[in-house]
Amino acid sequence: MEGLTGLSHLFVTMFLAGFGGIIVMPSITDVTMAALCPGQDECSLAIYLSGFQQVMIGIGSVMTTPLIGNLSDRYGRKALITLPLTVSLIPQAILAYSRDTKFFYAYYVVKTLAALAGEGSFHCLALAYVADIVPVGKRASAFGILAGVGSASFVGGTLAARFLSAALTFQVASVSSMIGLVYMRIFLKESAPMRQPLLKEAEEPCIEQCEDDLPQRTFKKLPSMGDLICLLKCSPTFSQAAIVLLFNSLADGGSMAVTMYYLKARFQYNKNQFADLMMISGIGATLTQLFLMPILVPAVGEEKLLTTGLFVSCISMLMYSISWSAWVPYALAGFSVLGVLVRPSLTSIASKQVGPNEQVS
């Protein structure tokens, strides 16, 4: 099973899970403000808690994603994809039941613990599944299409959130995530890593030497910090991609933690306006990833697309910080769609530097 024809069930799972996660995003700011600072447009506690949660999600990703990725090499992608889809259901179900202050705190704690348990590993496992099935030369386009499906779920979720009440959005999110989990378990077939060598021959002695220098461990198949350092030392391109991703993730995480609270305090945005902004950026991102990226990758290469995406992201963040009118974020939402080129480009670059059993680690 090679090529994009083997990815249809993964695309459906990605859409359903993404829809369930995105539909709650326009409402979560209002829900948080109502639970922590009722009747106010500014709330420092909400920003602090959101920032702390982003930090914990980052720490959880660093700790659990390599472990989950390594376990997926041994026990299969499908078995490990079940974990993030399952843990993401619980916090949604809490707010679907009630959005009172005590339930919000329960949601906050469970959401943070779910992130530490690997909630964010689904996208990495999905990318590894693609890498198992799609040949190297077609992976950049396949990654772009997968990201486009994620963007399509983004558009669908924000469009639904625009017309649903806050209570109903969490109920719909829970149902969609549950359907996605059940669909994945029934229809998604297990993948097998493609066996063509991806590491350059010049790098293999480095890998072997590095592995010989590492101390023997009882659990030899579980990744350690030494394994990660070894991979970074032996592949300069991979280490450079990792550095770029680190700083890009720091910027995205900081922006996500405060942007909606900033817009609510400055321009009194509400759920519907947040949904409008997200819909504009989501439609643009979907069109870019599904149609533009497969055309541009063969023509200009991943490196130039990565540079373009990073430059556009920098300009967008700068303009957000000096927004002088309520229409400026709407204009930026359309302009910043090229920023979505960053992750697929980095993923494609990194995927070509590692072996078939290292696609998630």
- The string of pLDDT tens digits covering residues 225-250 is 556 666 666 667 667 777 777 777 76
Band of the pLDDT at 209, cuts 50, 70, 90? low
Same domain, 130 and 240: no
Q: Which of 140, 164, 190 is the last residue of a domain?
A: 190
Q: Is the pLDDT of residue 211 over 70?
A: no
Same domain, 111 and 9: yes
Q: Is the pLDDT of residue 165 over 80?
A: yes
Residue pair 84/118 in contact (Cβ under 8 Å)? The answer is yes
- Residue 172 has a pLDDT of 92
Same domain, 185 and 134: yes
- Residue 230 has a pLDDT of 67
Average pLDDT of the chain?
A: 76
More confident residue, 213 or 335: 335
For residue 118, with 0-12 CB atoms within 10 Å meaning exposed, 13-18 middle and 19 or more buried, which class applies?
buried
More confident residue, 19 or 204: 19
Q: Which of 167, 190, 213 is the last residue of a domain?
A: 190
Dihedral sign (CA 218, 131, 340, 279): negative
What distance in Å separates the CA atoms of residue 63 and residue 61, rounded to the nearest whole number? 5
Quick check: is 144 in a domain? yes
More confident residue, 193 or 9: 9
Same domain, 45 and 130: yes
Same domain, 240 and 155: no
Quick check: is 361 in a domain? no
Q: Is the pLDDT of residue 253 over 90?
A: no
Q: Which of 147, 165, 190 is the last residue of a domain?
A: 190
Same domain, 81 and 136: yes
Quick check: is 244 in a domain? yes
What distance in Å separates the CA atoms of residue 9 and residue 2, rounded to the nearest whole number? 14
- When pLDDT is averaged across residues 306-320 and rounded to a whole number, the result is 80
Same domain, 272 and 137: no
Q: Is the pLDDT of residue 167 over 70?
A: yes
Residue pair 104/51 in contact (Cβ under 8 Å)? The answer is no
The candidate with the shortest Cα–Cα distance to 189, out of 4, 3, 68, 8, is: 8
- Residue 201 has a pLDDT of 40
Same domain, 126 and 229: no
* φ/ψ of residue 199, rounded to 5: -80, 140
- When pLDDT is averaged across residues 77-90 and rounded to a whole number, the result is 88
Band of the pLDDT at 321, cuts 50, 70, 90? confident
What CATH number should be reported for the domain holding residue 174? 1.20.1250.20
Q: What SS3 class is residue 133?
A: helix
**Angle value at C-alpha 320, between 318 and 323, nearest 5 degrees:** 115
The count of other CB atoms within 10 Å of the CB of residue 193 is 18
Quick check: is 199 in a domain? no
